[in-house]
Structure 1
Amino acid sequence: MAMPTTPPGYSTPSTSSEPAELAFVDTGPAPEAVIFDFGGVIITPITNKLARIAERHGTDTTTMLEVMMGPRYESTDHPWHRAERGEVPITDLQELVAPIAAAEGMTFQGDEYAELMDDQTYSIVPGAIELVGHVGDSPLRMGLLTNSVREFRPELEAAVDLALFDAVVDSSIEGTRKPEPEIYCRATERVGVEPERILYLDDFDHNLGPARDLGWQVVHVTDPTVAFAQVRRLLS
């Protein structure tokens, strides 16, 4: 499977041991709303688990991500993308993805998705809940925009109080997922401010392009400590 190259205008996660430099892209007028991604911003990223599964199969994380979660830079009919749009249950994924894994020379053992979805190995990103509270205590509107599967909703609700958000846009309920433009349009409408007044945090670089195209200000969260501190400075 050919690995996609990074599209123009996108950045890739830092591999340096030094704190990542975080750039605000296309910053504009003072934000009136902050929209958070969930995985990788509020809870630890799914790539942490993919790395462990990849090691078990003797491959790299990027290849395992492509096999189990589909192409990063587009929405397709890959089974994981379909699950995130609420089209198939996650219980079907193991069987549906096994041929894709086989084409990459892997023999799935039958527990890969159970391991991926095990909520016991996710944790809250340090400082995330505090930042959500900081925004919630301000006059700013606040939203949550997440690619998720229906079966993970209880874990999402356990991690953060969804009542804190003025808008919760969940791909598995909406039937559309990042980076499809429609889900960003729905988030804009529901958070209720002009697009250029939205500040969006996401750890996956490929989810930032459609937001920028719509006029949002974006933060690529590669180092949450740096990102959260910079968001606080910007909002103050």
Structure 2
Amino acid sequence: MIWDFGGVLTTSPFEAFTRFETERGLPADIVRRTNAANHLENAWAKFERAEIDIETFDMLFAAESLALGAEVRGRDVLPLLQGDLRPEMVEALKRINAKFKTGCITNNLPANAIGSRSGRTLYVAEVMALFDHVIESAKIGLRKPDPRIYKLMVETLKVDPSNCVYLDDLGVNLKPAREMGMTTIKVVSADQAISELEAATGLVLR
């Protein structure tokens, strides 16, 4: 069982993006559109691979968003990423962890990019410790949807992709896993994801 983190074990940042845009009178979906444009080599991708520092990310994201219609500083977007942990998904992970190998592949940011929320940080660390293996994009210089990051996970866990289930909230990240032979679950809500996990595993997860 291989999991994404943000938007799966936590709430999606998309609602925070929408609220931010509304409050600032920005064009709808400017943050998501900036993230999606040239998504393999844009500022966001480079920052998640730790190829650039926060100052460079701030400037590049501003330039990329301006090209799409409105300048948004990269630094202003970073605090919007901290979703709340979904306790029901954490409970499902714990139950699955008792029966199956588990891994987490997360596109994340270099340490301290967002700033510390100490209580939350400790809880996130506790959740991360549940996994048999965690791959963080900022630590290895690879990010989803690069097929190599999925291959690295199955090799580390010593499992066949055809015996794996992969969960993510983004379709673009599910495609390489599916092409490798994994069963994929697109997480729209915790309830929907848990139902599909129960069907895939035969376990009671709530």
2:102 alignment counterpart: 142
1:112 alignment counterpart: 76
Is this contact kept in 2: 1:143–1:166, CA < 8 A?
yes
Kindly tell me: are residues 156 and 190 of structure 1, through their superposed partners in 2, closer, same or farther at Cα, counting changes over 3 Å? farther
Letter in 2 for 1:84: E
Residue from 50, 53, 58 that aligns with 2:26: 58
Q: Larger RCO: Structure 1 or Structure 2 (Cα < 8 Å, ≥ 6 residues apart)? A: 1
Q: Distance in 2 between matches of 1:229 and 1:235?
A: 10
List per-residue Cα deviations over 1:68-125 (Å, max 9, x = no partner). x2438x512x1110011111123432222212222223133675234324x4xx2112
Q: Distance in 1 between matches of 2:194 and 2:86?
A: 11
TM alignment of 1:24-173, pairs within 5 A: 34-55=1-22, 56-61=24-29, 63-67=30-34, 69-71=35-37, 74-76=39-41, 78-108=42-72, 112-117=76-81, 119=82, 122-138=83-99, 140-151=100-111, 158-159=123-124, 160-173=126-139
List per-residue Cα deviations over 1:6-55 (Å, max 9, x = no partner). xxxxxxxxxxxxxxxxxxxxxxxxxxxx0110011001112122212222
1:136 CA displacement: 1.4
Q: Distance in 1 between matches of 2:182 and 2:172?
A: 14
Residue from 176, 184, 190 that aligns with 2:150: 184
Q: Distance in 1 between matches of 2:73 and 2:140?
A: 32
Q: Distance in 2 between matches of 1:200 and 1:233?
A: 14
The alignment yields a C-alpha RMSD, in angstroms, of: 2.2
Q: Distance in 1 between matches of 2:108 and 2:73?
A: 24
Is this contact kept in 1: 2:3–2:166, CA < 8 A?
yes
User: Secondary structure at 1:161's aligned position in 2?
Assistant: helix
Residue from 149, 159, 163 that aligns with 1:193: 159
Is this contact kept in 2: 1:41–1:202, CA < 8 A?
yes
Q: Distance in 2 between matches of 1:111 and 1:96?
A: 11
Is this contact kept in 2: 1:212–1:218, CA < 8 A?
yes
Kindly tell me: are residues 144 and 110 of structure 1, through their superposed partners in 2, closer, same or farther at Cα, counting changes over 3 Å? closer
Q: Distance in 2 between matches of 1:104 and 1:40?
A: 25
Provide the identity percentage: 27
User: Secondary structure at 1:219's aligned position in 2?
Assistant: strand
Is this contact kept in 2: 1:205–1:220, CA < 8 A?
yes
Q: Which runs of 5+ in 2 are unaligned?
A: none
Q: How does the TM-score come out when normalised to structure 2?
A: 0.84
Q: Which runs of 4+ in 1 moved over 3 A?
A: 107-111, 152-158
Is this contact kept in 2: 1:150–1:173, CA < 8 A?
yes
List per-residue Cα deviations over 1:154-198 (Å, max 9, x = no partner). 766632432221110111111111111111111111121111001
Kindly tell me: are residues 52 and 91 of structure 1, through their superposed partners in 2, closer, same or farther at Cα, counting changes over 3 Å? farther
Q: Which runs of 5+ in 1 are unaligned?
A: 1-33
Letter in 2 for 1:95: M
Q: Distance in 2 between matches of 1:204 and 1:156?
A: 24
Q: How does the TM-score come out when normalised to structure 1?
A: 0.75
The structure with more helix, counted as a fraction of residues: 2
